[in-house]
Amino acid sequence: MKVKIHEVLTRKNRYKRLVFILVLFLLVLLVGILGFGLTKEKEKKVQKTEQFVSSQKVVLVNGGCENMQTNPLKEETDEQMIKAVKDYYTEKKADTEFVEMYDHFKIYTKSGKYKDTYVAFVRYDMKIKDIYTEVPGLGTLYVKKDSQGNYQITQQVKKKEIREYINRIAEHEDVQALMNQTHESYQKAVSSDALLKEALDDLKDAYENSIGN
């Protein structure tokens, strides 16, 4: 009887082991199938993500651009940019009746917020028609370099974040120093020529009247 009980127990243990192995095999098979399915889904998602990224233009931020020490004001030496800025003011002159010419350019730049963008602070002298003394001025331009290496220039920036960025770096001490120097030169020119002062007052009145209307 003892032998038979032992045999029965042995059979039961073998049966349990077989069941356990079968269940384990099924679980491995199931996990393999599910894993394969998940892998395919992940592959699809990765492909979709890659397609999305490739369809979007990657924009790189210039590190340290907000800091004056890492983004100092420097006089521009790139001939293509200098030419692009001068061409911009030539076109601007053509659209303004009272301006005879812009000359004596000095172009200073800081890196823009994004790669291949710049903020240009353009120091110039403006010659008003029939007035001998030129008016010192300082313009702020947003410059963007395209994939062909050409510079696109605008003064009216549409994106709010870019306008805010320009305002922030305009508060840098080196930019403020340039603004103060230009203002002093402007005041000196105006005080030295009564006809210039009168012409500027007339232009100011005409501008304010045009806004009021």
Judgement on whether residues 45 and 109 belong to the same structural domain of the protein: no
pLDDT in tens, 74-86: 999 999 999 999 9
Task: Give the integer Cα–Cα distance in Å for 28 and 48.
Answer: 30
Q: Is residue 61 part of a domain?
A: no
Judgement on whether residues 88 and 166 belong to the same structural domain of the protein: yes
pLDDT in tens, 52-64: 343 456 679 999 9
Do the beta carbons of residue 120 and residue 143 sit within 8 Å? yes
pLDDT in tens, 185-202: 999 999 999 999 999 998
In the chain, the number of structural domains is: 2
Tell me what pLDDT residue 205 has.
87
CA dihedral 152, 154, 158, 164 (to 10 degrees): 100
Q: Which domain holds residue 190?
A: 74-212
Judgement on whether residues 153 and 206 belong to the same structural domain of the protein: yes
What mean pLDDT value characterizes the chain?
80
Place of tokens 């110039």: 124
Task: Give the integer Cα–Cα distance in Å for 73 and 198.
Answer: 34
Q: Is residue 154 part of a domain?
A: yes
* pLDDT band at residue 22 under the 50/70/90 scheme: very low
Strand partners, 153: 143
Do the beta carbons of residue 83 and residue 132 sit within 8 Å? no
Judgement on whether residues 45 and 80 belong to the same structural domain of the protein: no
**How far lies 55's CA from each of 52, 65, 194, 210, in Å?**
5, 27, 60, 46
Judgement on whether residues 100 and 147 belong to the same structural domain of the protein: yes
Judgement on whether residues 92 and 176 belong to the same structural domain of the protein: yes
* pLDDT of 127 strictly over 70: yes
